[in-house]
Amino acid sequence: MKNILRGLALLVAAVIVFGVFFIIGASLTQTLPRVLLYTTRLNQWEYATREQTAVYYADGSQMTTLGYQRIYQEDFPDFLKKSVVAVEDKRFYQHAGLDARGIGRAIWKNIRSGSKAEGGSTITQQLARTLFLNQQKTYGRKIKEVFYATALEEKYGKDAILNMYLNEIYMGRGGSGMGCAARTYFNKDIGSLNQGQICMLAGMIQAPEYYAPERNYQGLKERQETVIAVLEEQGVITEAEGEQIKGQPLNIQPYVPEGGRHPYLAVYIRNQVEDLLGTKGTYQAGLKIYTTIDRRMQEAAEKAVASQVKTLLARGINAHDMALVSIDPDTGSIKALVGGPDFLQNQLNMAILPRQPGSSIKPLYYAAALDEGIIDPEMTINNAPRDFGGNYVPRNHIANAPEQVSVRDALAKSENVASVEIMSMVGVETASSYIRKFGVTTLKPEDQHLALALGGMNDGISPLEMADAFAVFADGGEYHQYYSIEKIEDATGQIISKSNPDSWRVISDDTAATMDELLQGVVNYGTGSGARIAIKSAGKTGTTTDSRDLWYIGYTSELCTAVWSGNSSGAVVKGYDTFGGSVSAPVWRSYMNNLYYSGVFQQKVTTEVEEDTTLEEPAGDGPVDGEQATDTGGENETAPPLDAEPDTGQDKTNAPNSGAGADSDTATNTNSNTNTNSGTAGSVLPAENQSGSTGY
């Protein structure tokens, strides 16, 4: 009985709503359209093809554009016009912008389904939405759409409206308009398309991303045949002609992602805008996107990454991929972002994909222990190899490492056992809480074990999040959520989005100052000596098992930068001296020296360091790895110019990441020895699942 009453109620509601829209449609007299022409201000508006969405640097100069340039057409093939009208709005030439029957039918379907999935929009309404409104499926927007559509019909004839529609409709691959679609999909002028290609384009209007040929060719072909069937049904073509059209070759051109200037950065920004406004809004609206990117830093970063990868390969070091991210520690604004050396060779943006952090994670929980009052810089820590329980026996990177070491030297020389001891003292749960407060979003409950002290994680941390985390030390303990877009303006200059990043305190001012001092020690006499530059800096190195992930994260008072080197496939980095301090730290130094000697920084010289733009050849006569590295002197002497990660012991396993957030078929690490520990939080990681870091 209840179901019957509910059905009757829905029927009554549908009839009422249909009646309202029917009355509106029937009442569109000569007076109402004229009124709407003025109330919508279309009387002062003239159609003009809009520019691409433009992206700007922080200084206001234009960086790049997003999407393909519109190819404006004065006219279109007659068969294309008939096909689009037949499929999208068969009563186009009969209604005055609003098809009351179509809207009523759509509302009834929406009421029955409980959603707003059915549009019921005419070609004029679609054009109104494209030109003046957003893509949200709300009844409020639908009413505005009707008003604008009515005004458009009052001002323009049917041919002009259809021409605007065919020039503006979004067609996928970042392009708008049929002229652009013909060039993008077939590399032809619109007038050179065969009827099969035209039917394909007409069918794609409904859902261009869904019917993208590179992802859903079968669905696209079925949609094309649906268009042909509609044309036969409406008498536009005969059944015999339809069969002939089905057999015509499509010859779809492969999709090549746009390269252009700063491709990794451009794609990252595009994705940010699409998350805010949707794909159609990004490409159709002629937006102005004002970013936080510093042109000088971005160009220097790309130069450093590309040149240093070439240098590494020439030296026999097979690190094919590299990422660099710079953040303003005062605001969290991204100043430079490079996801790899060659976008055409590898589109994976390694700047935003999580990787195993190795010992670069150590400062985050050292800071926790300091902030909790558990340790101080001069406190002596037990550094003797031993079982921490569960057969977890981390080892140091040198055989004769001191059995007692100060906190200061433990961090500077990246002693493994002492670091695990500090993690044990502060507690895995407390340390994990701090790590999350540093902005790390990829730390999972199953990562909460003592091996986390050496970077053992399931997914890892992205260079972007790592740079933002270290910026806390440069800004007195305050975390600022990273962001890349200051504001977005629409084609009329109205601000439609403005950044409002979160910030919070992670550690006290005193703790931040102490950590800054300790991390300066890493550069002055520890594992990060390869990153020393003319101005005061601090940082930390990191190298994971088998040198799969090589890190250096460093900062000055003005800029915090993370550098990651390795292979996106997870392949072992082979070659001589493959450590974070000998591979990634010099990249950081080269980049920062370029900026310093270009006058970018205000900070003054504190030490004489020769300008450097290339990687130095490492000192020594033979290969050195994390287990063989030996110190050249006493524990307080300058560390050797290599960056060896301490060993986690003979039971260590590799824990490469799978690129969380990326497509699994493109970003998955090929190493099969992924850490699968699912122990309880705060537990010692079982020996068979020990993972992550060889130390520093």
Q: Where are the domains of the chain?
A: 1-39+74-169, 186-257, 295-482+506-683
At residue 333, φ and ψ (nearest 5 deg) are: -75, 135
Q: Is the model's pLDDT at 162 over the cut of 80?
A: yes
> Average pLDDT, stretch 69-86?
91
> Average pLDDT, stretch 274-302?
86
Tokens 């359209």 belong to 33
> Average pLDDT, stretch 479-489?
96
Confidence category of residue 611, pLDDT binned at 50, 70, 90: very low
> Average pLDDT, stretch 428-432?
97
Q: Angle at the Cα of 502 (from 496 to 508), degrees rounded to 5?
A: 160
- 0.75 surpassed by pTM: no
Identity of the amino acid at 2: K
Q: Is the model's pLDDT at 693 over the cut of 80?
A: no
Identity of the amino acid at 246: K
Q: Is the model's pLDDT at 686 over the cut of 50?
A: no
C-alpha to C-alpha distance for 561 and 569, rounded to whole angstroms: 23
Catalytic residue chosen out of the listed positions 88, 372, 558, 627? 88
Q: Is the model's pLDDT at 513 over the cut of 50?
A: yes
Q: What is the pLDDT of residue 109?
A: 55
> Average pLDDT, stretch 550-565?
97
> Quick one: tokens of 683?
């537990």
Catalytic residue chosen out of the listed positions 359, 582, 590, 691? 359
Q: Is the model's pLDDT at 86 over the cut of 60?
A: yes
Q: Which residues pair with 683 in a beta bridge?
A: 449
Q: What is the pLDDT of residue 397?
A: 82
The domain made up of 1-39+74-169 is a member of CATH 1.10.3810.10:
yes
Q: What is the pLDDT of residue 144?
A: 83
Nearest to 681 by CA among 414, 436, 381, 417: 436
Q: What is the pLDDT of residue 285?
A: 63
Q: What is the pairing mode between strands 503-505 and 478-480?
A: antiparallel
Task: Report DSSP letters for 65-129, one per residue.
Answer: EESPPP---S---HHHHHHHHHHH-TTTTTSSS--HHHHHHHHHHHHHHTS-------HHHHHHH
Q: What is the pLDDT of residue 633?
A: 30
> Average pLDDT, stretch 99-126?
63
At residue 175, φ and ψ (nearest 5 deg) are: -120, 155
> Quick one: tokens of 250?
């499509």
At residue 500, φ and ψ (nearest 5 deg) are: -150, 65
Nearest to 548 by CA among 657, 427, 432: 657
Q: What is the pLDDT of residue 510?
A: 97
Q: Is the dihedral of CA 627, 631, 634, 635 positive or negative?
A: negative
Least-confidence region, from 24-33, 190-199, 278-287? 24-33
Q: What is the pLDDT of residue 324?
A: 98
Q: Which CATH architecture has domain 295-482+506-683?
A: 3-Layer(aba) Sandwich (3.40)
Confidence category of residue 278, pLDDT binned at 50, 70, 90: confident
Task: Answer yes or no: 88 catalytic.
Answer: yes
> Average pLDDT, stretch 25-51?
73
> Average pLDDT, stretch 563-588?
93
Identity of the amino acid at 695: G
Cβ contact 518:503 at 8 Å = no
Condensed to tens digits (0 to 9), the pLDDT of residues 337-354 reads 999 999 988 999 999 999
Q: What is the pLDDT of residue 245?
A: 96
Nearest to 374 by CA among 305, 322, 424: 424
Give the residue, 693 or 253, on which the prediction is more confident.
253
C-alpha to C-alpha distance for 303 and 613, rounded to whole angstroms: 10
> Average pLDDT, stretch 616-645?
31
Q: Is the model's pLDDT at 663 over the cut of 70?
A: no
Q: Is the model's pLDDT at 219 over the cut of 60?
A: yes
C-alpha to C-alpha distance for 616 and 618, rounded to whole angstroms: 6
Mean pLDDT of the chain: 82
Q: Is the model's pLDDT at 612 over the cut of 50?
A: no
Cβ contact 220:213 at 8 Å = yes
Contacts 24+ apart (CB under 8 A), 214-217: 214/254, 214/255, 217/252
C-alpha to C-alpha distance for 427 and 439, rounded to whole angstroms: 19
Confidence category of residue 227, pLDDT binned at 50, 70, 90: very high
C-alpha to C-alpha distance for 69 and 14, rounded to whole angstroms: 43
Tokens 């519109």 belong to 70
Q: Angle at the Cα of 14 (from 11 to 18), degrees rounded to 5?
A: 140
DSSP reduced 3-state for 418 = helix
DSSP reduced 3-state for 485 = strand
Cβ contact 194:162 at 8 Å = no
Assess whether the region 1-39+74-169 and the region 186-257 belong to the same CATH fold: yes
Q: Which CATH architecture has domain 186-257?
A: Orthogonal Bundle (1.10)
Q: What is the pLDDT of residue 27?
A: 54
Tokens 């300790």 belong to 518
Residue 65, judged by CB atoms within 10 A of its CB (0-12, 13-18, 19+), counts as middle
Task: Answer yes or no: 645 catalytic.
Answer: no
Q: Is the model's pLDDT at 632 over the cut of 50?
A: no
Q: What is the pLDDT of residue 240?
A: 96
Confidence category of residue 677, pLDDT binned at 50, 70, 90: very low
CA distances (Å), origin 464, targets 352, 363, 456, 666: 6, 16, 19, 20
Identity of the amino acid at 425: M
Nearest to 428 by CA among 684, 647, 690, 655: 684
Confidence category of residue 679, pLDDT binned at 50, 70, 90: very low
Q: Is the model's pLDDT at 8 over the cut of 50?
A: yes
Residues 6+ apart with CB under 8 A from 44: none
Confidence category of residue 18, pLDDT binned at 50, 70, 90: low
